[in-house]
Structure formats: structure tokens, C-alpha cells
């Protein structure tokens, strides 16, 4: 049995010379290293070491655990991926409840099966185009092309063998610092987004808008179909502002009777009208210092619109039956599912109020335009409904998920959320196609059948003479795969899952057919 010190000496030449010197010299080296406050803090974090050579894994474990790290190891990329999915990394949910997420990974470039560079590619897919965690690559036979590809894939650092102990420690320390910063950024973004769930391009664009708009004082008009989550966007904007600790007051303009809306918004004095037995503060006063959210502003009475315009212009309001103006500092965020420009054209909405509200317009995309988010939302709301109702966790069959992902969702996220709660309660076990509403199954099957018939009708008589069956088949397959990749944001893993094929098989077909993003 080879000792750990012998292994470390072989892998780290600097360690070998130090071990050969008197103990006092080694103690002095340790004392000198401890002079740095950052080094004294150690490498506190969870490190995954991926290498097919057991001795290298043992040596790195000895060095890193000596610095305070928790070390996990894997002998292949496949084993590492399985471990990452169980433990979680880069904000991805892990299945092992309570287990600390992996902070940093060290991986050899030359691994059996999936290489270290291909492993980086997989992690980029998991992270939606960026590496889900810092990765340090090691290689004894590194080439310039390897280093260039590693850099392009986002590798945090690159070490050559034989490894230098101090170089590894410094590299891991920097990677841990980066991982902690990314985790804090995810926490802040999570607080900002609230319950807005999505990773599609449309959703990411919305998040970027919220991040820019939130810290400003600008008034915002949120437009979008019913059920898209306009209130969640309004709350996220409030949370991203310096008013986050103050009141967020929601007013549903469509739900308040026309004769009461002025009293609700601006308050009233005692005796202002029959039933006004006491003075009442309006919601604009209650929101002073914070944010007022005027939902369904398109349904507001023209008289109330005039008073809202005055508040926006002067920052003052007058209670119903009152004479004294009251100064308020309120940020106004409004929302509507109606087209206010059309209402302005028919004199049902004040043009001057429209321009006061729409300083920064935000359009919340309908669910049918959020390619790839349906599966994420279905899983999230099904899990939430199971927890809230004390029901054991349930999963979807691939066929059910495919049908849900292809549905147009006219009621948007609200419709999806309600359906997930229904499925959580009524389904006897995991969710299959037979558990889905009949109208969803029949509608999608009829739509798919009609689309297929249209495609066949178009192809008949439209293929030029001289085109072989092989060329025609490859052209159709190429168009089909490119369309499905586009629907899943060019995420190969999700596309392969939706198509019901292995990821490696899809990669081979893409290479054979010359399919590449942007090509």
C-alpha cells in the first residue's frame, strides 16, 4: 500500500523536497503560509475531484482536506454528472435534501467515456449557456487547442501535471471565492424575481428589464394577457427599488365600484357622503413612501383618472369632501390586459394619463412565447401543490410532459397553476396522459394530426425531380431537428428528452446533418 505522503510527493514535487527537509524547516514553511489571513481561513467548501486515477484523487483529497475542504470524488464524467445532479450545483436543485451543494469541480481532461472538455460542455447546458459552477481542469498532456477550447468553454483555471501544491490551493481558493459571489448573486436575483419562474430567452429579457427599472423612480405600465403574472412583475419591481421595505399596495381597479373608487384611492372626510361616518385615509396615503399598484387601470372611471393624473403631476391629493391638499410620495406601477392606445383612440382612457403612466412600458410575454418554460413551471407548481395539500410528491411521464409543453395555454400561467393543483389532488399516482384534461388531449392530437396532413399535402408534387430519397429524408430530418432545438432554446439535452432519443444519438445526427446554432 502506497502512503498518502508518497502519492503527494510524486504528484507535487514541491512537497517532496519539503518533506525531505528537517521538521523545523517544514514548520517554518507552514508558519509563513499562515501569515496570510485568507490562507488562515482555509478552503471551506465542497470540492468534487474527477479523475480516473485513484492515486491522483487521493492526493488531491489529502491536500484539500488539509486546507479545510470537504472533498467528493468520481472516477468518470458520467459518475460526476450523476453526483452533481443529486447534490446540486450552481443553483440547480439537487435531489439529496439537506446535502451541501458542490462549490467547485477539479477534472482531468482525459477521462474514459466523456472527456473533461465534454463534461464542461454538459455543465454549460445545465447552466443555460454558462458553467453551473467553477471548473479547474488538469492534464499531463495538454495541447494548445485543449487550452483554447477549455477557455472558450469557460474553465476557471487550467493546471498541468505534475501539479504544484501551492498553485492548486490558490486556484481552488479563487474558485471558491467566485462560487460564493455567484451564490450571493443568485440569492439576490431570487429575491428580486420572487415567484416569476422561467429560464427562457423571453423570461431572461424580462428579468433584465426588472433589474434596470427597479432601482429607478420611473413610473411603469405593465401590459400583458390575463394570467401572465403582471402582479408578480410589479412586486419584483418594488422589491428591486429602494422602497422595498415600505408598503406595496395593490388596487384592482376593475373590482371597485365606480362610485367608490375615488374614496378608496384618495380617502374621504367625515360626512362627505351618506355612510361616511368617519374620516378615512385613501390607498395613495397608505402607500406613502412605497409603491401603489393600479391593476387593470384600463377599467378605471374617467373621473378617477383625472384625479390620478393630478397626483402624478403634483404629488398631492385631496380627500373626497376635503379641501386641504395632502402631499404624498408614491411610486405608481400600473397594469392592464387591454390595449390602452385603442382606448385612448375611442376616448375611453385619458391620453395625458396614458403618457404619464407609460414612462417605462413592460410587456409580460404569454406562456406560448416562453419556449422551454412550461416543463419548469409544471414541475414547480405540481411540487408546490403536493406540499401545500400534504400529498406525496408526484412525477410526470415523458408523454404527459410532451403534451403539456406543446399546449398553447390560452389562460397562461394562471391556467397552468390551477391545472397542476387539480392534478396533484385527483391523480392517483404519477401524472400520465390519461390524467390530463380531455380537451387538452383531444385538441393537441387534432392539431398535430392536422399539421402532419398539411406537411404531407405540401410535400406531394413539390419535390423537384432528381432528388433522391436519402437527400429528401435528410432535408426533412434537418428541418425537424432545427425546429425542435429552437423550441428548446438549443438545449441539446432537453431537445433529446422531448424527442425521446439519447443525447449522444442527437449529437451524432446533428453532426451528420451539419446542424449548428446560427448555421
pLDDT digits (tens, 9 = 90+) for 60-115: 999 999 998 999 999 999 999 888 877 766 555 555 555 678 899 999 988 888 88
Q: Per-residue DSSP letters for 182-248?
A: HHHHHHHHHHHHTT----SHHHHHHHHHHHHHTTS---EEEE--TTS-HHHHHHHHHHTSTTTTS-E
pLDDT digits (tens, 9 = 90+) for 207-245: 999 989 999 999 999 999 999 999 999 999 999 899 999
Specify the DSSP class assigned to residue 363.
Answer: E
Specify the DSSP class assigned to residue 400.
Answer: H
Q: Give residues with Cβ within 8 angstroms of 315, minimum separation 6.
A: 327, 328, 329
pLDDT of residue 450: 47
Contact 309, 350 (CB under 8 A): yes
pLDDT of residue 40: 46
pLDDT of residue 96: 57
Q: Per-residue DSSP letters for 459-478?
A: HTTTSPTT--HHHHHHHHHH
Specify the DSSP class assigned to residue 103.
Answer: -
Distance separating alpha carbons of residues 312 and 304, to the nearest angstrom: 13
Q: Which residue's C-alpha cell is 446533418?
A: 513
Domains and CATH numbers, the chain: 4-189 (3.40.50.2300), 201-365 (3.40.50.300), 371-462 (1.10.8.60), 465-519 (1.10.10.60)
Distance separating alpha carbons of residues 61 and 72, to the nearest angstrom: 8
**Backbone phi, psi, residue 307, to 5°:** -70, -35
**Sign of the Cα pseudo-torsion (30, 34, 38, 43, in order):** positive
pLDDT of residue 27: 34
pLDDT of residue 473: 79
Grid cell locating 374: 412550461
Contact 174, 43 (CB under 8 A): no
pLDDT of residue 150: 80
pLDDT of residue 136: 92
pLDDT of residue 480: 86
pLDDT of residue 38: 45
Neighbour count for residue 384 (Cβ, 10 Å): 16
In the predicted model, residues of the chain with pLDDT beneath 50 are 1-11, 13-40, 446, 449-451
Q: How far is CA 223 from CA 239, 365, 367, in A?
A: 19, 9, 14
pLDDT of residue 99: 67
pLDDT of residue 299: 92
pLDDT of residue 17: 45
pTM of the model: 0.56
Contact 34, 40 (CB under 8 A): yes
Residue 172: is it exposed, middle or buried by C-beta count within 10 angstroms (0-12/13-18/19+)?
buried
Contact 376, 370 (CB under 8 A): no
**DSSP 3-state assignment of 48?**
strand
pLDDT of residue 186: 64
pLDDT of residue 23: 37
Amino acid at each position: 500500500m502506497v502512503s498518502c505522503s508518497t502519492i503527494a510527493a510524486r504528484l507535487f514535487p514541491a512537497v517532496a523536497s519539503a518533506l525531505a527537509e528537517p521538521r523545523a524547516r517544514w514548520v517554518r514553511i507552514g508558519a509563513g503560509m499562515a501569515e496570510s489571513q485568507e490562507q488562515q481561513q482555509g478552503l471551506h467548501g465542497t470540492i468534487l475531484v474527477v479523475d480516473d486515477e485513484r492515486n491522483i484523487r487521493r492526493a488531491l483529497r489529502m491536500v484539500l482536506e488539509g486546507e479545510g475542504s470537504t472533498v467528493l470524488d468520481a472516477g468518470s464524467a458520467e459518475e460526476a454528472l450523476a453526483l452533481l445532479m443529486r447534490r446540486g450545483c450552481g443553483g440547480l436543485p439537487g435531489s439529496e435534501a439537506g446535502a451541501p451543494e458542490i462549490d467547485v469541480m477539479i477534472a482531468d481532461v482525459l477521462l474514459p467515456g466523456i472527456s473533461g472538455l465534454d463534461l464542461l460542455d454538459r455543465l454549460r447546458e445545465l447552466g443555460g449557456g454558462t458553467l453551473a459552477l467553477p471548473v479547474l481542469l488538469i492534464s499531463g498532456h495538454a495541447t494548445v487547442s485543449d487550452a483554447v477550447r477549455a477557455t472558450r468553454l469557460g474553465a476557471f483555471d487550467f493546471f498541468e501535471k505534475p501539479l504544484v501544491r501551492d498553485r492548486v490551493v490558490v486556484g481552488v481558493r479563487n474558485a471558491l471565492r467566485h462560487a460564493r459571489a455567484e451564490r450571493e448573486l443568485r440569492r439576490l436575483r431570487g429575491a428580486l424575481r420572487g415567484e416569476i419562474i422561467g429560464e427562457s430567452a423571453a423570461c431572461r429579457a424580462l428579468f433584465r428589464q426588472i433589474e434596470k427599472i427597479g432601482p429607478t423612480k420611473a413610473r411603469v405600465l405593465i401590459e400583458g394577457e390575463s394570467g401572465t403574472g403582471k402582479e408578480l412583475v410589479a412586486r419584483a419591481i418594488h422589491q428591486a427599488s429602494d422602497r422595498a421595505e415600505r408598503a406595496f399596495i395593490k388596487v384592482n381597479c376593475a373590482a371597485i365600484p365606480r362610485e367608490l373608487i375615488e374614496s378608496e384611492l384618495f380617502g374621504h372626510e367625515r360626512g362627505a357622503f351618506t355612510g361616511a361616518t368617519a374620516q378615512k385615509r385613501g390607498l395613495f396615503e397608505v402607500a406613502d413612501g412605497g409603491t401603489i399598484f393600479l391593476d387593470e387601470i384600463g377599467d378605471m372611471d374617467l373621473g378617477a383618472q383625472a384625479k390620478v393624473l393630478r397626483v402624478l403631476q403634483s404629488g398631492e391629493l385631496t380627500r373626497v369632501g376635503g379641501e386641504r391638499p395632502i402631499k404624498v410620495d408614491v411610486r405608481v406601477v400600473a397594469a392592464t390586459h387591454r390595449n390602452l392606445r385603442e382606448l385612448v383612440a375611442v376616448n375611453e382612457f385619458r391620453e395625458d394619463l396614458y403618457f404619464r403612466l407609460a414612462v417605462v412600458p413592460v410587456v409580460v410575454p404569454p406562456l406560448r412565447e416562453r419556449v422551454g418554460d412550461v416543463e419548469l413551471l409544471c414541475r414547480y407548481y405540481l411540487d408546490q401543490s403536493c406540499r401545500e395539500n400534504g400529498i406525496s410528491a408526484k412525477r410526470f411521464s415523458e408523454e404527459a410532459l410532451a403534451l403539456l409543453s406543446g399546449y398553447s395555454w390560452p389562460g397562461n400561467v394562471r391556467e397552468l397553476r390551477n391545472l397542476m393543483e387539480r392534478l396533484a389532488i385527483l391523480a392517483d399516482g404519477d401524472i400520465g396522459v390519461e390524467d390530463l384534461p380531455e380537451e387538452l388531449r383531444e385538441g393537441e392530437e387534432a392539431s398535430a394530426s392536422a399539421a402532419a396532413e398539411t406537411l404531407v399535402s405540401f410535400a406531394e408534387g413539390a419535390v423537384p425531380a432528381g432528388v433522391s430519397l436519402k437527400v429528401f429524408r435528410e432535408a426533412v430530418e434537418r428541418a425537424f431537428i432545427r425546429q425542435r432545438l429552437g423550441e428548446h432554446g438549443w438545449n441539446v439535452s432537453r431537445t433529446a428528452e422531448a424527442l425521446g432519443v439519447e443525447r449522444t444519438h442527437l449529437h451524432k445526427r446533428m453532426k451528420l446533418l451539419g446542424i449548428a446554432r446560427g448555421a
